[in-house]
Amino acid sequence: MADHCVFCDYHRPPRGTNMLVLGDQWLEFCSDCGERETLTNGETGETLCIADVFELGGTKLKNRPSPRQRKRMLKQRRKAMGREAMELRAIEARKAAHRASLKGGLGDNSGPLFSLTPA
């Protein structure tokens, strides 16, 4: 077995890989991607994760994380995605500030910075 997940392109994942054969398609996947990636039945519209389809074939998924571990893994993944989103927002803010400084202004120059009001 090649130990190469076709979804995350990870060579030799720590828990190994499994092979799901659907007709002429061979899907080699790690346990993380098996929980994350889904397949949809074209006839019934039913959607299952790859790990569940694999186990429908009568073979237990090797090293499949327990439901508690899966929940923790999803929580960690969401947390990491939140951090990445915050970092991207910060980068975009720095880019906008840099573009504004290149224009010679403070960003949107559509209106006056100060307005005089009679006393």
CA 69 to chain centre: 18
Closest CA relative to residue 61, chosen from 72, 48, 74: 48
With H, G, I as helix, E, B as strand and everything else as coil, classify residue 27.
strand
Note whether 11 and 60 are same-domain residues. yes
Q: Are residues 13 and 56 in the same domain?
A: yes
User: How do residues 25-39 score in pLDDT, each as one tens digit?
Assistant: 888 988 888 888 888
Query: What's the total number of domains in the chain?
Result: 2
**Domain-embedded: residue 106:** no
Element holding 40 (H helix, E strand):
strand 38-40
Domain residues for the domain of 9 are 1-64
19 and 55 housed in the same domain: yes
The answer, as to whether pTM is greater than 0.85, is no
Please tell me the distance from the alpha carbon of residue 33 to that of residue 7, in angstroms, as a whole number: 7
- What would the pLDDT profile of 105-115 be if each residue is shown by its tens digit? 554 555 555 55
Same structural domain, 38 and 11: yes
53 and 86 part of one domain: no
